[in-house]
Amino acid sequence: IIAEYDSSGQIINRYMVAGQVGTDVRGGHGDQIYIKMDQSFLATTYLGKGYTIEKYEYNVTIEAAINSKSGEEVIDIDINDYLYFDNSRGRFISHNEWRDEIHYAERLMLNDDTSLPKNPSEAGKQGFARVDDKHAQYHNPEINDKYIYKDGREAIYNEESGELLMLLDYENNGPEYGPTYNYVPNDKSIVSSVSKGHYLFDILPYFWWGSVK
């Protein structure tokens, strides 16, 4: 639990760790997302052994988020309720840093398009798992297939041609539905579901900022 103070030294907000990046992916190891705690949460979720995120009710459910489109009112999530701790820097970073340096730049580097299998057949051979259309909707499933790997990488292919869509020329010519590295990927056995960590690190930033600038 961390606290935010006003100029007179009074606590105005408390935040608690909601998720952390592990060491089985390419990057972001130890990075944490904190969520603001409201008064009702503080009053009802202390169990004598510490606070637990399991009892916290998010502004929207994960399923509601998955079934919506970016920008719809159902995604009524205030970014000011979240803080990002960058473990490599040893400090909390601003929302602008989170957006530009983590969500855009670092994801692009870690996804490393040049390392991706060149077609769906090769993706399968290398252990990439195809994601069902419902959970690939943000990559235009009408024409594209989405594959994920346990180290966080994503590969998006044109369904008809099998062509790999890449974001190498990111600033100018990135496709609207380009690959987006996952700090907390869903593994092969649960590609049809969404974990809480994936929701926090990978889905929420997409709702706020999209997948390309």
Lowest mean pLDDT among 48-62, 111-125, 168-182: 48-62
Mean pLDDT value across residues 7-11: 91
pLDDT per position as a tens digit, 68-113 = 554 454 455 788 889 999 999 999 999 999 999 999 889 989 999 8
User: Is pLDDT above 70 for 187?
Assistant: no
d(CA 196, CA 173): 32
pLDDT per position as a tens digit, 18-75 = 889 999 999 999 999 998 876 555 544 444 444 444 444 444 455 555 555 544 544 5
Mean pLDDT value across residues 173-181: 63
pLDDT score of 175: 54
Say if residues 85 and 32 touch (Cβ distance below 8 Å): yes
* Residue with more model confidence, 26 or 170: 26
DSSP 23: S
Amino acid at 148: I
Phi-psi region of 162 (alpha: psi -120 to 50; beta: other; left: phi over 0): left
pLDDT score of 78: 81
User: Is pLDDT above 90 for 165?
Assistant: no
Closest to 42 in 3D by CA, of 6, 13, 77: 13
Helix or strand (DSSP H, E) at 44: helix 39-44
pLDDT per position as a tens digit, 124-160 = 999 999 988 766 766 666 678 889 999 999 998 888 8
Contacts of 33 (CB under 8 A, 6+ apart): 17, 18, 19, 20, 82, 83, 84, 85, 200, 201
Residues written for the chain: 213
* Residue with more model confidence, 133 or 182: 182
Mean pLDDT value across residues 179-199: 70
Mean pLDDT value across residues 199-203: 86
pLDDT score of 169: 57
